[in-house]
Amino acid sequence: MTRVKRGNIARKRRKSILEITKGFRGSSSKLYRTAQQRTLKALTNSYNDRRLKKREFAKIWVSRLNASVRYSGINYSSFQNQLKSSKVTLNRKICSQLALYDKNSFERLVAFIKP
């Protein structure tokens, strides 16, 4: 039986893993076996954290809105309810940006939806 030389394919596979781990600390970026484990963990974490990022931003928007709306004498829950009943279709992100950057517009919005 003839000998099979797998050098190019194996090298290409290893090289792609080592390129992903470029910048990792210690042997995680130098040795293939450790790099492979670190890559798997890093890709798993990045997948999970892309979803966590959305939750974290939603929490920030809600807490900002709650703090801003309490100056007007209502809480976040009733603010959201009044937004919905007034048929105002602004989401949490836009409302929190209004509260943060354009206080006059936000106050007018709160005055508009207040019963």
Domain that includes residue 26, residue range: 7-113
pLDDT digits (tens, 9 = 90+) for 20-63: 999 999 999 999 999 999 999 999 999 999 999 999 999 999 99
Pairwise CA distance, residues 39 & 22, whole Å? 10
The answer to the question of residue 49 being in a domain is yes
Pairwise CA distance, residues 8 & 25, whole Å? 27
The model's pTM is 0.75
Q: How many domains is the chain built from?
A: 1
**Which residues neighbour 91 within 8 Å (Cβ) at sequence distance 6 or greater?**
none
The answer to the question of residue 98 being in a domain is yes
The enclosing domain of 48 has a CATH number of: 1.10.1900.20
The answer to the question of residue 30 being in a domain is yes
SS3 assignment, position 32: helix
The answer to the question of residue 2 being in a domain is no
Q: Residue 73: what are its φ and ψ, rounded to 5°?
A: 90, 10
